[in-house]
């Protein structure tokens, strides 16, 4: 990391600087999130097991079942879309050098397999053996970064969605208690049970916020920088492809 930062600061090329900044920013976010989950793994394990105990298995009324189905459906769609765009992005990066290499070969031009990330190494990466090793390492590194990002974000999304759903179901239960006519003892026991569940859910939400506070800080600090770097890098790639296209028809 220190070597990459040194090369990042000492880089004289603006596109290379932006590309390196994007790589370091994304890797810092992904591995920072993963390390946060690993460091607080006991807290997450405990909270997940407690949420399992509160999970509504057999709901009696249609309204509660409808809320449960809608919440799970929206969560599933959001997770699928989020995973799709992240995996698509990393494979676009991984396959871009291959596509450019094949394109030049089809055109009959001399071509060498490029690199996925614009990063520097403490050795000559242009040599044949080092070249293949660097390419394989960059493919693996990109996949690991995306897996780390997905693991932490999906865990946060799932826990937050489940807590929100349980609070919504608890609200319905409270409204039902207001309308029901039971004896004082039965009503008192139901109210006490609802209060205990509500306190547990509030505690889970607070613990979830505390556990992901570092992750959220990393997101705030680096997400905007990463987005700007992606836009700049994408513009550089499109400019390169357009230049290649124009040169073939001259």
DSSP label at residue 249: T
Distance CA 75, CA 67 (A): 12
Cβ neighbors of 104 (< 8 A, separation 6 or more) are 110, 111
What's the pLDDT tens digit per position in 129-160? 877 888 888 888 888 888 888 888 888 888 88
Lookup result for tokens 């000492």: 10
Cα–Cα distance measured from residue 53 to residue 181, given in angstroms and rounded to the nearest whole number: 28
Spatial CA neighbour of 160 closest among 207, 221, 215: 207
Give the Cα separation of 201 and 159 in Å (integer). 11
Instruction: Give the other-Cβ count within 10 Å of 191's Cβ.
Output: 12
| Ranges of the chain whose pLDDT falls below 50 | 1-3, 12
- Specify the residue for token string 């060498």: 112
Per-residue confidence (pLDDT) for residue 26, from 0 to 100? 72
pLDDT score recorded for residue 2: 47
Question: Within 10 Å of residue 146's Cβ, how many Cβ atoms?
Answer: 20
| pLDDT value for 112 | 76
The gap between the terminal CA atoms of the chain, to the nearest Å, is 44
Contact call for residues 148 and 218 (beta carbons, < 8 A) = no
Integer angstrom CA distances of residue 71 from 22, 66, 74, 132, 173? 34, 9, 5, 46, 17
Contacts of 151 by beta carbon, 8 Å cutoff, 6+ apart: 33, 34, 37
Q: What is the pLDDT of residues 86-135, one digit of tens each?
A: 888 888 878 888 888 888 778 777 777 777 776 667 777 777 787 788 88
Cβ atoms of 85 and 193 within 8 Å: the answer is no
Position 3 scores a pLDDT of 45
What are the sequence ranges of the domains in the chain? 25-248
Q: pLDDT value at position 14?
A: 54
What pLDDT is recorded for position 76? 92
Q: Where are the alpha helices (DSSP H) in 11-61?
A: 14-39, 41-54
Question: Two tokens at 185?
Answer: 């003892």
């Amino acid at each position: 990391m220190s070597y990459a930062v040194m090369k990042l600061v000492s880089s004289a090329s603006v596109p290379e600087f932006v590309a390196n900044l994007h790589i370091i920013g994304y890797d810092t976010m992904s591995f920072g999130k993963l390390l946060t989950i690993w460091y607080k793994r006991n807290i997450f394990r405990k909270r997940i097991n407690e949420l399992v105990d509160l999970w509504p298995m057999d709901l009696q009324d249609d309204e509660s079942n409808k809320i449960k189905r809608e919440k799970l459906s929206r969560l599933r769609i959001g997770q699928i879309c989020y995973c799709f765009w992240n995996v698509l992005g990393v494979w676009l990066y991984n396959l871009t050098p291959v596509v450019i290499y094949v394109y030049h070969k089809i055109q009959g031009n001399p071509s060498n397999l490029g690199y996925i990330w614009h990063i520097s190494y403490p050795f000559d990466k242009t040599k044949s053996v080092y070249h293949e090793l660097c390419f394989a390492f960059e493919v693996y590194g990109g996949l690991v970064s995306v897996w780390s990002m997905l693991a932490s974000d999906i865990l946060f999304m799932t826990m937050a969605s489940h807590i929100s759903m349980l609070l919504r179901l608890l609200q319905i239960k409270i409204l039902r208690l207001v309308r029901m006519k039971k004896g004082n003892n039965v009503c008192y026991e139901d109210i006490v049970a609802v209060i205990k569940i509500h306190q547990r859910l509030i505690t889970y939400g607070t613990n979830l916020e505390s556990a992901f506070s570092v992750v959220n800080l990393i997101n705030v600090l680096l997400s905007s920088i990463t987005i700007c770097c992606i836009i700049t890098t994408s513009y550089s790639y499109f400019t390169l492809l357009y230049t290649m296209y124009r040169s073939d028809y001259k």
